[in-house]
Amino acid sequence: MPLPVAHGLLGASIVAALRPRSARVHYIIPLLIGALLANAADFDFLLAFALQSKGWHRGFSHSLVFALLFYVVLAFVLGRQRIKEAIAYGLAFTSHGILDYVTSRDGRGLQLLWPFSRDRLRLGWWGLSEVPSKLHWAEILQALAVEFVLFTLLLLAVMLLRRACPSNTAEN
């Protein structure tokens, strides 16, 4: 289970790669929106807290179907003229569940295929910051540093590639 820094930087990287260029909006604002959306699935902690059941965490809000529903609502709200933005933001949201799925080795997994299956799935490639609540504060800081370095490098690479590759179309 990655910490919020990894989710946020991955979401910002996706938005940096896919969002249309715009002179009207400061570049940092869309990146911040992408970072927030990439962490939004973890607001299921509020349900877990309110209902006093850990079973809500990494449930429906981490699923691909929920991400698709989120994208459809976002596309409707933003409209046809901003469909590329909706795709970028929708993929930033979707990245949360996928990153949790790929990096969960020791945890319970997540309901990636909800509502079709309530099984908790995990790929287990790499246990990134597994169960941070059971880590010592020094281990949490170390995990934060590793995630920050890895995912900041990804964001910087995307931004440099985007700058180096001029757009072929006139985008607003």
Biggest CA–CA distance in the chain, Å, is 52
Question: Rounded to an integer, what distance in angstroms lies between the CA atom of residue 139 and that of residue 146?
Answer: 11
Residue in 43, 65, 62, 66 with CA at minimum distance from that of residue 122: 62
Q: Look up the pTM and report it.
A: 0.87
Q: What is the DSSP string of 12-49?
A: HHHHHHHSPP-SSS-THHHHHHHHHHHHGGGGHHHHHH
Cα-flanking dihedrals φ and ψ of residue 106, to 5°? -100, -20
N-to-C CA span, the chain: 37
**In this structure, what token pair is assigned to residue 63?**
């699923």
172 pLDDT tier (thresholds 50, 70, 90) = very low
Higher pLDDT, 151 or 128: 151
Residue in 119, 154, 120, 122 with CA at minimum distance from that of residue 8: 154
pLDDT digits (tens, 9 = 90+) for 36-68: 999 999 988 777 677 777 767 788 999 999 999
- CB of 82 closer than 8 Å to CB of 17: no
3-state secondary structure of 78: helix
Higher pLDDT, 55 or 136: 136
Give the CA angle between residues 52, 55, 59 to the nearest 5°. Answer: 125
Residue with tokens 């949790």: 100
